[in-house]
Amino acid sequence: MSDTTDQSAPAAAHSAANLVDESKLDKQTLRALSFVRTLVHKMQMDAEVSVAPDDGEGSADEIRLEIEGPDAGRIIGKKGTVLEAVQYLTTRVVHRPGDPRRHVSVDAEGYRARHEDQLSEMARRLAARVAKEGKVITFDPMSARDRRIVHKALEGAQGVRTESLGEDPDRRVQIIPLKKS
């Protein structure tokens, strides 16, 4: 019996260190947390929802939630579509008339961070190719969030500029070589 207790104590201490004190959360964050927890429960998922600890990544007015656990991968969906839908719905629940507009970010098992890193790296590789070969590269249609990631990744990149074109849902980013003078 004591073996089980000894093994779980470090894990409990580790997870407790990462927890945010929920008694100090504002009403919008509590509303977001409650909504996503209810959604995960109704989806019969074995996962926990918590406020992401401040790691310097987000802004002060951002509500960042993290979903972790054995079933957390299910909430990501194909290419993050389910996660995007959960985030959209959570944003709608959080914003009430008279409340300040705050960005809501819902992540599962670090999916968003990995996706953003991969997309940024791909954009930088393609930008180097565009600068070298002088040919325009056009991405497949992507979400506003993904387009913003590409634009930010290539801000100040040498020899290229980015531009979005088309109408949603077919809006896409182009990497365009700068004309050499």
pLDDT along the chain (181 residues), means of 10: 37 45 85 96 94 71 92 89 92 90 91 92 97 95 90 94 93 92 58
- Note the pLDDT of residue 56: 62
Asked: is 2-109 a CATH 3.30.420.40 domain? The reply is no
> Using N-to-C axis directions, what is the helix angle for 111-133 and 144-153, rounded to 10°?
50
Instruction: Decide if 2-109 and 114-177 have a common fold.
Output: no
The confidence score (pLDDT) of residue 80 equals: 87
Domain residue ranges of the chain, discontinuous segments joined by + = 2-109, 114-177
Domain at 114-177: CATH code: 3.30.1370.50
Question: In the prediction, which pLDDT does 180 show?
Answer: 72
Q: What is the pLDDT of residue 24?
A: 81
